[in-house]
Amino acid sequence: MAIKKEFLTLIFVYSGEFAERVIRNLINDPSFCKSCGLYCDSCKYGVYTHVRNIRAAIELPKPSDLPAFIDKPEEYMPKSVPKADLCVASGLHKDLLLELPTHLGKVGVKGLIVPIEDFNEVPSGLRKQLEGRCLELHLECAFPKPFCSLEPSEDKPLITRFVDELGVGRPKLEISTARRSGREFVEAAIVRRSAPCGSTWYVARKLISVETKREILYDAIAKAHHSYPCTATMNVDPEAKEPILHIGGYIIREEVEKALEKAEAAT
């Protein structure tokens, strides 16, 4: 008799639009991606849905609606949190975010992912405090900056399952090319792993028929990445010395190049 494998379960604790975009991508909401407008060919719709993985999406008050310093952050924590494997937290007030690992540990959540789309939301000092708190509570944790930099890690099996089973994190593509009139063009682009916001699907769609000459290819990738509703900040990150949005753009560009190299090696 085959052993039924349990699927990974998630909760979202968030404030703001970023987490909502990730959730809508994960459930593959057909009203979410409108980037192609009238030219939409439903490249991603019907391909996947992770509705069953999401146990809850809990929205907390916006940081701007709360005091600058919160003496009793536990009073703002969700009253009821279902047991789940992982929590994705985004856009929270710093004091609430720091309290969250303790709250999650009490209800049996085993890991925490805090995407960093804006350095001001999770500065390095707060990240170190969160890492220490998670270590004390034996929670797996990851702080990808941006979310599309998240990769599997041998010492983080639950977060690895998140990346592998839901097919989100650092993008992976499979590309085939064709030659016409002495020039090489992208013939097909298949998404094997998408950025959590879903932008990889749009970039892949916009690569079709683009010449693989570097400057032309880079321009097409940049235009597609900036046209999709990515929420990473354009403010300069003091650690990276450039906007986090640009880091996301470099990541997808690198992955397109890797896919082209594999395609060339296979010919």
Closest by CA position to 137, among listed 183, 94, 181, 103: 103
- 81-134 per-position pLDDT tens digit: 999 999 999 999 999 999 999 999 999 999 999 999 988 889 999 999 999 999
Polymer length of the chain:
267
pLDDT at position 3: 47
- 219-256 per-position pLDDT tens digit: 999 999 988 866 677 888 888 889 898 999 999 999 99
- 145-200 per-position pLDDT tens digit: 999 999 999 999 999 999 999 999 999 999 999 999 899 999 999 999 999 999 99
Structural domain spans, the chain: 10-166, 172-266
Side-chain half-sphere CA neighbours of 185 within 13 A: 11
The CATH topology of domain 10-166 is Rossmann fold (3.40.50)
Closest by CA position to 26, among listed 171, 165, 205: 165
pLDDT at position 231: 65
Calculate the CA dihedral of residues 74, 80, 83, 89 and round it to 10 degrees. -50
Closest by CA position to 26, among listed 147, 127, 117: 147
Name the pTM for this structure: 0.93
Q: How far is residue 11's CA from residue 153's CA, in Å, rounded to a whole number?
A: 21
Domain 172-266 has CATH 2.40.128: no
pLDDT at position 2: 46
